[in-house]
Amino acid sequence: MMEINRFIKLLSVLMFVLSLCMKLNSVSAAEVRCIERERQALLKFKHDLVDADGVLSSWGSEEDKKECCKWEGVSCSNGTGHVTSLDLVFHSLKAKLSPSLVDLQHLNYLNLRGNDFGGSKIPRFIGSFKNLRHLNLSGSNFSGEVPCELGNLTNLNTLDLGSEILRVIGSFNNLRHLKLGSSNFSGEFPCELGNLTNLNTLDLRYNNLRIKNFDCLSHLSSLSHLDLSGVNLINQTSWLHHMTSFPLLEELHLDYSVEGLGYESFDIFPNSSLSKLSILRLSSNYLTSSSTFRWMFNISASLKVIDLAGNQLEGPIPDSFGELFFLEDLVLSDNKLRGGIPSSLRNLHTLDISSNELNGLLPDNTTFSSLSRLDLGNNKLNAFHTQCLGQPLVLSELDLSYNQLKRLPEGIEKLSNLSYLGMSSNLLEDTITESHLSNFANLRELDLNSNSLTFNLSSDWIPPFQLYRLLLSHCHLGPHFPNWIQTQNFLGWLDISFAGISDAIPNWLWNMPFFTILDLSHNNITGKIPNLSSQSTQRSIIDLSYNNISGPIPSFLFYWPEIKLSKNMFSGSIFHLCTIPTESIFHLNYVLDLSDNQLAGELPNCWMNGSELFVLDLANNKFSGKIPLTLGTLDQLEVLNLRGNNFIGELPSTLRNCRELRMLDVGGNKLTGNIPAWIGTHLTSLTFLGLRFNEFDGIMPSTICLLTNIHVLDLSRNNISGRQEFEWRTLRLLKGIDLSGNKFVGTIPQEFSALRGLVFLNLSRNHLTGNIISNIGQMETLDFLDLSRNQLSGEIPNSLAELHFLSVLDLSYNNFTGKIPLSTQLQSFNSSVYAGNSQLCGEPLAKCPGDISNGSATDHGEGNSFEDDDGPQAFLEAFLLQMVEQHWELDVCDNNNLCHKIEEKISEMKKPLSGDKKVSTII
């Protein structure tokens, strides 16, 4: 019996162990399908990557991670367990592709888009994935040539290499969709593409490609979508003939074809057509009406979309567009079309004829029963048809901006489906009441900027709409702040500048959560801004300039990337900049304009937190102390304006790191020391250098002549000495030089005559000797010349009379002798121009001995000269303003924000200095 019991116990143990093993085996078999060799290949691949975000944390060799088929981005075959798909799109992975992936021979899908492979080459082993059908390496920072081995991927039907260089493509015979738009592909168009006879989509838009021969594409008879926008079609006058080789073509995009499509293209139109073509985009190609309209109405009866924007179409809009029965969207903007809109366009959904020369009456839109979007902006429309908007329409977007309309269209309040209404920059003088707006429940954007509209709305009015964008600049909304704005819960852009508001900003405005752009400038807003807690929503631009806001600047305003607070009465310091966390948005600020306030104290020394700044304007405040060293960490800075403060000490040498500076103005301070040589060697992008009204001494460094981009050089009113004998001819872009009020000696540099574009030259109040350069007449554009209060001598050269644009001249208080040269120009100035030169004679001074008569001086009235110390300087300010208006836009301003800042600040220089009583008449 004991033996039986022992046997039963032993059998029980064996059965338990056996069941346990079977259970383990069944668990293993159920959970782990991954092939061990492939799992190790993936782990090696991960080992060679930098996975900073831990997105591949599910990949591992631990017991609970053995099933690689469940790893992030990995898919396996249900039948065999082989890895068939690796999809790691936008995973922020870095490093090189590991060759261990070569063991994944069953891959048919590989997508590594949006990672960073460090500019390495596409590895050749990818060509060994014979089963691959989908390959996407776009945006992954590969470089170099595409390896020939990719030609082995004969089963590939989708290839996207994005910005990578493409060379070998002709052997992908099964490829149906090839998209290489904006990929920096350059050179000759690869004729190997002609071998891809199964291709349905070919997208090569916006590459630097040149196509000399369309014949190599003639075999792509399966194409339904072709986009060659931005590709250079060299001398392809018969391109349209080649398009008819694609009988299945549904979409054709040839926008911006670099050299244009030419004028002869359409004279060779064949009898065949593209019967399936529904979308045709030919914008910006220099097309003319006579050549374009001749074939367009015959090419396809299926056209739904036609885009001919940005060409040279002239004359009336043809009625024949109405014969295209399926036409829904017609874009003819940016041409030279005149006349009206044909009533035959009644089936359109979208009509864009903006930026043309349409004039007269706005058309009767009641005939366009299907129209949902109408853009007639930037034309010359000045009135409305009596039935213009006489009945409710499905119209959702209406843009009539930049016309000459004097009143709102009758019946506009009936357009209950409107989501966008734009009528900015007209001559509107209506009074807007609640009845105009009460039917706009769907309105999301309202743009009435730059009109003279008056809003007469009750203080407790609640509008029926919820706006995203409200632009009412130059409309009369004041004097009180419009309370109805607080009902707009999703408002992101508010512009009520120049609105006649004389009120404090209500606190509710700062609690509106979605503001990205807020412009309250050029009002008479008073009061203080509360010191609210920092707001984390995404801000963009705040402009409170030209108001009367007082008190300290609250910290939360510094969370806006573009801050314009100039021309107010803000006071206190800005040291609280340093209390803003470095991870906040302040480090992304790119414009900070606090000029013309009453801010005081030393500048904070934490500018390294604002590394993205490119405009910093602190001019005309009461800042003091030394210029902080950390300003030199702003290596993106383009405008630095510290003018009109009380800064002391020397220019910090760290500013040499601000190599992007275009404008540097530290005038009107108490800075000392020599002018640093590094200005010329390091700040070579400077176009404006203003160091005037300081205490700089020593000599002017010769490196200044390395500033080959300089337009204005102002070193006036310092203690700079020495001669001016430099390589001035290298500064050929100079338009203004002011070296007045210094201690320069020697003669006027002969090289000045090589500065043919110079408009302003002020060398007054120095110790210059010698003659006026004899060939000064070569400075043909010179408008202002002041050489007064020096020790110049000799006769006035005859070539001075050749300066026909000269409007202001001052040669007073020198030692000139002889007769003033005769010319209409030089005799037109009054006698004060030549005062203090006892040996000078001739009109407008006393006649010279030996002349026929010896009359007294002839005074030609109040003229362009200066009799006080501040006159020339104030005149420079007026000149700089004029230079901006006449010259700066063409020569300097390739950055709109920068140019606006330069223009604005130079405009401020127009103000006469204290004690200046004559310059206002000159300006």
The backbone torsions φ and ψ at residue 254, rounded to the nearest 5 degrees and listed phi first, read -130, 40
pLDDT value at 247 more than 70: yes
Q: 703 and 578 in one domain?
A: yes
| Residue 593 within a domain | yes
Q: What is the pLDDT of residue 717?
A: 96
Domain boundary among 656, 679, 710: 710
Question: Which residue segment(s) compose the domain that 828 sits in?
Answer: 725-871+895-923
User: 377 pLDDT exceeds 50?
Assistant: yes
Q: Which CB contacts under 8 angstroms, 24+ apart, belong to 913-916? A: 913/870, 913/873, 913/874, 913/877, 914/870, 915/868, 915/869, 915/870, 916/868, 916/870, 916/871, 916/874
Q: Are residues 681 and 820 in the same domain?
A: no
Q: What's the per-residue H, E or C state across 815-851?
A: EEEEECCCCCCHHHCCHHHHCCCCEEECCCCCCCCCC
648 and 767 fall within a common domain: no
Residue 259 placed within a domain: no
Residue from 805, 807, 750 nearest 775 by CA: 750
Q: Are residues 691 and 767 in the same domain?
A: no
Q: In a 10 Å sphere around its CB, with 0-12 CB exposed, 13-18 middle and 19+ buried, how is residue 36 labelled?
A: exposed
The reply to whether 779 and 827 lie within a common domain is yes
**699 in any annotated domain:** yes
- The residue out of 687, 710, 733 marking a domain boundary is 710
CB 623 within 8 A of CB 601: yes
User: Is residue 480 assigned to a domain?
Assistant: no
d(CA 518, CA 545): 11
What distance in Å separates the CA atoms of residue 786 and residue 764, rounded to the nearest whole number? 6
Instruction: Report the CATH number that the domain containing residue 852 is assigned in CATH.
Output: 3.80.10.10
Does 689 have pLDDT greater than 80? Answer: yes
Do the domain assignments include residue 770? yes
Same domain, yes or no: 681 and 765:
no
The DSSP bridge partners found for residue 232 are: 210
Query: Cα–Cα distances in Å, from 810 out to 230, 709, 723, 790, 880?
Result: 55, 28, 22, 11, 18
Mean pLDDT of all residues in 637-666: 96
Q: Which tens digit of pLDDT belongs to each residue from 52-106?
A: 888 888 999 888 888 999 999 999 988 888 999 999 887 778 877 888 888 999 9
Say which residue the tokens 């489906």 belong to: 417
Name the pLDDT band for 540 (thresholds 50, 70, 90): confident
- Residues 683, 555 share a domain: yes
DSSP assignment of 422-491 equals: E--SS----EE-HHHHTT-TT--EEE--SS--EE---TT---S---SEEE-TTSB--SS--GGGGG-TT-
Confidence at 178, pLDDT banded by 50, 70, 90:
confident
In a domain, 203, yes or no: no
CA atoms within 13 A on the CB side of 186: 2
User: pLDDT band at residue 456, thresholds of 50, 70 and 90?
Assistant: very high
pLDDT in the model for residue 916: 34
On whether both 594 and 626 belong to a single domain, the answer is yes
Determine contact, residues 814/837, Cβ cutoff 8 Å: yes
Q: How much is the pLDDT for 82?
A: 93
| 327 belongs to a structural domain | no
203 strand-pairing partners: 179, 227
Same-domain check for residues 646 and 683? yes
pLDDT of residue 584: 56
Same domain, 622 and 768: no
556 and 618 assigned to the same domain: yes
Predicted local distance difference test score (pLDDT) of residue 380: 92
Q: What are the tokens at 876? A: 């420079």
Round the average pLDDT of the chain to a whole number and report it: 83
The least confident of 23-32, 66-75, 119-128 is 23-32
Q: Is there a single domain that holds both residue 823 and residue 900? A: yes
Query: CA Rg, the chain, in Å?
Result: 37
pLDDT-wise least confident of 131-135, 194-198, 829-833: 194-198
* Per-residue confidence (pLDDT) for residue 261, from 0 to 100: 60
Mean pLDDT score, 229-239: 77
Helix (H) or strand (E) holding 329, with range, is strand 329-331
**What's the pTM?**
0.76
**Residue 436 domain-assigned?**
no
Q: What is the amino acid identity at position 875?
A: F
Of the ranges 23-37, 740-754, 774-788, which one carries the lowest mean pLDDT score? 23-37
Give the pLDDT score at 878. 52
Query: Which of 652, 684, 710 represents a domain boundary (last residue)?
Result: 710
- How many structural domains comprise the chain? 2
- pLDDT at position 702 over 80: yes
Residue 450: partners with Cβ closer than 8 Å, 6 or more residues away: 424, 425, 426, 473, 474
- Note the pLDDT of residue 156: 84
d(CA 60, CA 71): 9
The tens digit of pLDDT for each residue in 729-755 reads 899 999 999 999 999 999 999 999 899
